[in-house]
Amino acid sequence: MLIEDQLIELGFEVVGPAATASQAIALCEDEHLDGAVLDINLGGGQRSDPVAEWLTRQGIPFVFVTGYGQAGVDGRFGHAAVLQKPFTLPELRKVTWEHFG
């Protein structure tokens, strides 16, 4: 919820949040997206990798947020920016504007 509030404060229209990868993909299919912010760990042992795969196939940029840093990112997604938790609003602004502009 905090990330959602921060993105709205930065002027983004937020779609979601989604609690599971399948929910996120369904939202992605139903909406026009300029970019996405994905938490790597969705809870319950589930990761957002399937969402990242879908976004990559569609050519939609995304940013991972994680407490694990770059080490938590699957190698297939080395092109994606990673924002280490906890992060500040200026850090979120910088990474989202650089990648979604």
Fold classification of 2-7+35-100 is: Rossmann fold (3.40.50)
Confidence (pLDDT) at 66: 92
Domain boundaries, the chain: 2-7+35-100
Q: Residue 21 — φ and ψ, nearest 5°? A: -65, -40
Report CA-CA distances (Å) from 22 to 5, 31, 74, 75, 91.
23, 14, 18, 21, 28
Burial class (CB in 10 A: 0-12, 13-18, 19+), 65: buried
Provide the pLDDT confidence category of residue 84 given band limits of 50, 70 and 90.
very high
Residue-wise pLDDT tens digits, 8-54: 999 999 998 999 999 999 999 999 999 999 999 998 889 999 999 99
Query: What does the pLDDT average to over 68-80?
Result: 88
